[in-house]
Amino acid sequence: MTLSEKSAYLKGLMDGMNLNKETDEGKMIAAIVELLGDVTKTLGDVQETTIAISDELDEIEDDLDAIEDFIMSMDEDDEDYEDEDDDMEFWDDEEDDLEEGFDFGDEETTIYEVCCPVCNHVINFDEETLESGSIPCPQCGENLEFSFDDEDEEELEF
């Protein structure tokens, strides 16, 4: 039997006993039964809130796992670059180094990545930064500007 069922049962017992609610004992028993009903309702609300919070925390944990995987893959990429020859070019003017990055499970959150043509520093940013049109390189200060190609709005020019 759930708490709300037990509370309702006690209220039914009290009503079935035809207690005189004008006497001191009757007033006390009625107040206790009413209090138990209120506590049961409040406890049910707390349980619902706890379940909702738990679900949100599970989603946050999944997002953090995805971020960790993304960062770990970035670290592996950095190690690969360290193993390459020093004279290797990281910037190719013919290719567009601005590419859509990792999707963290939320269709509205997309991370973009661009390589600075001056210092080859990799910069990650979100849709809001992309829409602003430019971003300074945190490494060398070079102002990187972005624009949409008129022919294909999904392809970005750098």
Q: Is the pTM of this model over 0.75?
A: no
One pLDDT digit (tens) per residue for the chain, 158 residues: 888 888 899 989 888 888 888 999 989 999 999 999 999 999 999 999 999 999 999 999 999 999 999 998 887 766 655 555 444 444 444 344 444 445 555 556 677 788 888 888 888 878 777 788 888 888 888 888 877 555 444 444 44
d(CA 21, CA 70): 67
The residue extents of the domains of the chain are: 3-63, 89-157
Beta-strand relationship, 99-103 and 110-115: antiparallel
Contact between 114 and 98 (Cβ < 8 Å): yes
**What residue type is assigned to position 84 of the chain?**
E
| Strand-pair partners of 113 | 99, 124
